[in-house]
Structure 1
Amino acid sequence: MNRRTLLLGGCALATLAACGDSSKFKSYNGPAVTQIQLFKSQRMMYLLHGDKVLESYKVGLGGDPVGPKQFEGDGKTPEGLYYINRRNPNSAYYLSIGISYPNPQQVAFAESQGKKPGGDIFIHGRDGKNKGKGRDWTAGCIAVKDKEIRDIYAMVRDGTPIFIFP
């Protein structure tokens, strides 16, 4: 009887382990993501390989999503061409990948206005505590569900271009 209980318990643990992946880090062996396209007005982000959409995600944006980011604290998500340039496995928002905002022209414009351009723009998760905040709640970042940022983090490499459209 003891042996039977041990065997059933072991099978139950193995089944649970197979069903739920609690790890933040996944592996990805599919086609390379060659670009990301984000359409702010549609709140949609697409991961592409060439012209083929590999994945699509509904996103949350900055608290004031209309118009391009120009200054620190304006609550806007940038618009234009950027690149994925860093990753943060210990993000306050579960996982995050960085976007190369601001570019030199954006820095120069902000400084000409006597302001700072802002920075630290990421694609990130919600980390539980931000689940009830509504659609557009970030300070200019792009938010997806935690399970989605796990996939994005695995699929997207540093250097990948991201086109952010109005």
Structure 2
Amino acid sequence: MNLLARLFSALTLLALLAAAAVLIWPRLQAPPDPQPPVDLQGPVDFILVEKSARRMTVFRKGAALKTYRIALGFAPVGDKVRQGDGRTPEGRFRIDRRNAASAYHLSLGLDYPRPEDRARAQAGGYDPGGDIFIHGQPNALPASTALRHDWTAGCIAVTNAEIAELFAAVAIGTEVEVRP
């Protein structure tokens, strides 16, 4: 009788664990990409970065073409103020340089700091920072690796495949808006 009670208890516990796994497993899986993969065809004329959503959407003539998941600076809340604060700047910028030999897999530079950022920093007696880019992963990592947490010094990071796609579609002068 004691053996039968133990067997019944073990089977009940196993059934409960299986039921819990069925309920929990879908929540443990990675969320799907914001949209199915789409290759960009032709140029992009506007980039919208939404920091709080960790989302970047590219547009042409007002139509959204593709959305990317992004990583930001290691202290992502708030606007960039000074060198080393780990924040990604907020506001309107333009792509002002392209770097195929970046320390990160390809990069598109933003025209930060703007004159108002420089004036604020000069009045406060500190360095506003600079070298803010949309870029891929560190070149030291295997090409298929993607760091998904906020790890940059203030830049906007995507996967290597995504930055290659963007690098081909984004020209110097493209407008970028970074929202909180």
* TM-score clears 0.5: yes
Partner of 1:17: none
User: Is the contact made by 1:127 and 1:146 (CA closer than 8 Å) also made in structure 2?
Assistant: no
Using structure 2 for the length normalisation, give the TM-score.
Answer: 0.73
Partner of 2:135: 124
Distance 1:34 1:77 in 2: 21
CA distance change for structure 1 residues 68 and 150 in 2, over 3 Å: closer, same or farther? Answer: same
C-alpha deviation, 1:127, in angstroms: 3.3
C-alpha deviation, 1:134, in angstroms: 4.5
Distance 2:93 2:139 in 1: 28
CA distance change for structure 1 residues 132 and 159 in 2, over 3 Å: closer, same or farther? Answer: closer
C-alpha deviation, 1:135, in angstroms: 1.1
C-alpha deviation, 1:32, in angstroms: 2.6
User: Is the contact made by 1:84 and 1:159 (CA closer than 8 Å) also made in structure 2?
Assistant: yes
How many residue pairs align between the two structures?
Answer: 139
C-alpha deviation, 1:54, in angstroms: 1.0
Q: 1:92 aligns with which of 103, 118, 126?
A: 103
C-alpha deviation, 1:34, in angstroms: 1.3
Deviation sequence 1:99-150 (CA, Å, 0-9, x none): 0001001001011111010000000000354547551000000000000000
Q: Unpaired runs of 5+ in structure 1?
A: 1-27
Q: Which has the larger radius of gyration?
A: 2
Partner of 2:79: 68
Q: Which secondary structure does the structure 1 equivalent of 2:162 belong to?
A: helix
Is 1:155 the counterpart of 2:176? The answer is no
C-alpha deviation, 1:29, in angstroms: 8.1
Using structure 1 for the length normalisation, give the TM-score.
Answer: 0.79
Deviation sequence 1:49-106 (CA, Å, 0-9, x none): 1221111100000000000001000000000000000010011101001000010010
Q: Unpaired runs of 5+ in structure 2?
A: 1-38
C-alpha deviation, 1:33, in angstroms: 1.1
User: Is the contact made by 2:135 and 2:158 (CA closer than 8 Å) also made in structure 1?
Assistant: yes
Q: Which secondary structure does the structure 1 equivalent of 2:138 belong to?
A: coil
Partner of 1:164: 178
Q: Percent identity among equivalent residues?
A: 45
Partner of 1:49: 60
